[in-house]
Amino acid sequence: MAEFYGKKYKLSTSENFEEFMKALGVGLVTRKMGNSISPTIELTENNGEFSLKTSSTFKNSEIKFKLGEEFDEETIDGRQVKSVMTREGNKFIQVQKGDKETIIEREFTPTEMKAVMKLGDIVCTRVYKLQE
Ligand code: ACD
C-alpha cells in the first residue's frame, strides 16, 4: 500500500488558478470562492478501486475510479466530462474530456501533493501540504 493513501493534504500555494477557472468559464462569484478557500484532498484505494475526495467549506467532491477505465464525472464547476486516470509511479494523471479538455496531474510524496492542471496554454499549479 502506498504511504500517501488515506493521508490528508491541505492546499498551501496556488498559481494561475484564476486564469484556469476563467478559461473554463467559471463565473466571478465562484472564482472568488475558489480563490479564497484551501481544500483538503485525500486519496484512498481498496482492491484497485480508488477514491479521491476533495473537501472544503464551499463544496465537497468525490471521484471513484479504476486506473485506465473511463468514468463519468461532474466537475466541481458543474461540467459533465469523461475522465480517465492513469498512474506513473506516484503521479496520477487525469484526462477530462468534454467541451474543453483538461489534464490534472497529481504527484504524491509523503509530505506534499502537487497538482498541475492544464487547459490549452494555461498551467495552474497547486501545492498541498500533509496535514499533521
Ligand atoms: C483543487 C481543486 C481542483 C479543482 C479543479 C478543477 C475544477 C475547475 C474549476 C474550479 C471551479 C470552481 C472552484 C471552486 C472551488 C475549488 C475547490 C472546491 C473543493 C471541492 O484540487 O484544489
Locate the ligand 1 atom nearest the alpha carbon of residue 59 and give its number.
Answer: 20
Q: Which residues contact 104 (CB under 8 A, 6 or more apart)?
A: 93, 94, 96, 115, 116, 117, 118
Distance 60 CA to ligand 1 centre (A): 10
Query: Which residue intervals of the chain are DSSP H helices?
Result: 17-24, 28-36
Percent of the chain whose pLDDT exceeds 70: 100
Is 107 close to ligand 1, i.e. is its CB under 6 Å away? no
- The closest residue, in CA terms, to atom 18 on ligand 1 is 59
Is 61 close to ligand 1, i.e. is its CB under 6 Å away? yes
Please say whether the beta carbons of 105 and 113 come within 8 A: no
- Confidence at 1, pLDDT banded by 50, 70, 90: confident
Here the cell at position 105 is 496531474
pLDDT digit string, tens, across residues 7-31: 999 999 999 999 999 999 999 999 9
pLDDT digit string, tens, across residues 36-83: 999 999 999 999 999 999 999 989 999 999 999 999 999 999 999 999
Is 105 close to ligand 1, i.e. is its CB under 6 Å away? no
Enter the pTM of the model. 0.95
Locate the ligand 1 atom nearest the alpha carbon of residue 41 and give its number.
Answer: 21
Could you give the domains of the chain? 2-130 (2.40.128.20)
- Which of helix, strand or coil describes residue 47? coil
Distance 50 CA to ligand 1 centre (A): 19
Kindly report the CA angle at 55 between 50 and 59, in degrees rounded to 5? 120
